[in-house]
Every structure is written in structure tokens, then in C-alpha cells.
Amino acid sequence: MADSWHESGATVWNAVPAALLANTQGIVWFGTVRDEQGQFLENATVQLDTGIIEHVAVTGIEGRFRLVLPKNIPFDAVIPYCARPGSHSAYIQRRPPPRGLDSPVELQCILR
């Protein structure tokens, strides 16, 4: 599963909206939550724990979320969690920003 997602990563990156790359107010975290069958999940909670405070988002109808974290928080200092009532994360992967940039960070959650 991890490999198949990794392979599709390039495609996902190509689809990053320019607005996310141009964000200068903070570090954009965005991504999707799906189940093991690949269905995008609405109303899943994504929590990003920076070690100082938790930031939380709920996915929309297409299973997507977007959060903006303060600029001074490196992406590897953030612990992500994903869950939905009745299911928890089986797999979480983050993809760092493009070289030379500190934003955006992409997160992929698979719930079981």
C-alpha cells in the first residue's frame, strides 16, 4: 500500500495548487483521508500535534483537509493523527515540501 501511494506521489505533487506553494503566512499541511478500499472519507478528524499545541481539521466531502501551521514549526516536529468514529489510522504518510521550500506538506491517512 505504501509503495503504491508513493508511486502516485509525483502525480499528487503536480496537482498541488499554486496557491498552496505561494502561501507565505505559514506552513500549509494538506491531504486526504481514505479507507483501506481507497474511498475518500468525509468527517474524519486530522490532528497535527506540534508539541506545543494541537491543530485540528475535519475532512470535507472529498476526504480532503487543509491546515496552516506557524512558520517556525519544522515538518518533522509534527506528529499527525487521523481517526473517525469507529475507525483509526492504519497508515499515515507525510511528504515533505519541495526542495528549498518549507511548505506545503502533504499527508495521506488510511483508516481501518
Binding site for another protein (CB under 8 A): 43-47, 49, 51-58, 66-69, 81-88
CB closer to another protein, 6 vs 88: 88
User: Distance (Å, rounded) from C-alpha 55 to C-alpha 90?
Assistant: 20
> Considering the complex, what minimum distance in angstroms separates the CB of residue 53 from another protein?
4
Minimum distance of another protein from residue 89's CB (angstroms): 8
CA dist., res. 33 & res. 82, Å (int): 8
Shortest distance, position 81 Cβ to another protein, whole Å: 5
Query: Residue 3: how many CB atoms within 10 A of its CB?
Result: 7
